Structures are given as structure tokens and as C-alpha cells.
Amino acid sequence: MIERILVLCFALFALAVWRSAHLLARENGPLDLIVRLRTVLGSSIMGRMMDCFYGLSFLIALPSTLWMSSSRKGFLIQWLALWAVAALLEQATQKQQKYVHVTPVSASYIDRVIRGV
């Protein structure tokens, strides 16, 4: 019975980490509060962190793990596991992006196009 509760607790924490990181990194938030926060933070370290889902989920998983962990050995494993589950959920829920491979154009080609040769 206790194992089921621990597994359920871990699953709920993982969902909470993913949802919180997704809100901060990918959404505007209610009344555009998250967008305003990003604007205020600008290009500072915290502002750049707000744009990175994986960095945010790494940090957001820390307090959850502190609350959930009962041993020092399990702490690191649980922290990384929460982070991994959040990353997997993010990848699973992202829309398929089409990547277009762009071949670099040489400077000599651009010069020929400009000169009309």
C-alpha cells in the first residue's frame, strides 16, 4: 500500500513540475502575467532561464524533491527522475516541428547574384 502511495506521489509531483515549467517557459499566463515577468527580467540570467523549459524544470524539480525525498541517496535520483519525466512529457506533448535543412550559400555566389553575373 505504501509503495502505491509513493508512486502516486511521484507521478503527481512529476506532472506538477512539468506543468509549472511549461507555464513559465511556453505560455503567457493568466492576464499575461508571465509575459510581463519575462519582459521585466529581460536578458538577465533569470530572463534567459524563463525561455528554457529544461533549465526551468531542473530548478522546479528541486523543491519538490526536497519535500518528497526521505534519504540523501534517494534525493539525487528522485531529482533527476522528476526532471527526466518532465522533459519526456514536454517532448511528448510538443507539436511536431518540421525542420528545414538550409544549405549555406557561399559569399562568391552572393556576389555573382548581386552583380548579375
**Helices (DSSP H) in 27-52: which residue ranges?**
33-41, 45-49
The residue-averaged pLDDT of 81-109 equals 76
Mean pLDDT of the chain, nearest integer: 84
* More confident: 4 or 17: 17
Q: Which amino acid, 37? A: L
pLDDT for 26: 87
User: Distance between CA atoms of 11 and 59, rounded to whole angstroms?
Assistant: 17
The residue-averaged pLDDT of 45-58 equals 89
User: Distance between CA atoms of 21 and 80, rounded to whole angstroms?
Assistant: 15
The residue-averaged pLDDT of 105-116 equals 65
47-51, long-range: CB < 8 A, 24+ apart: 50/24, 50/25, 51/25
Flag whether the pTM goes above 0.85.
no
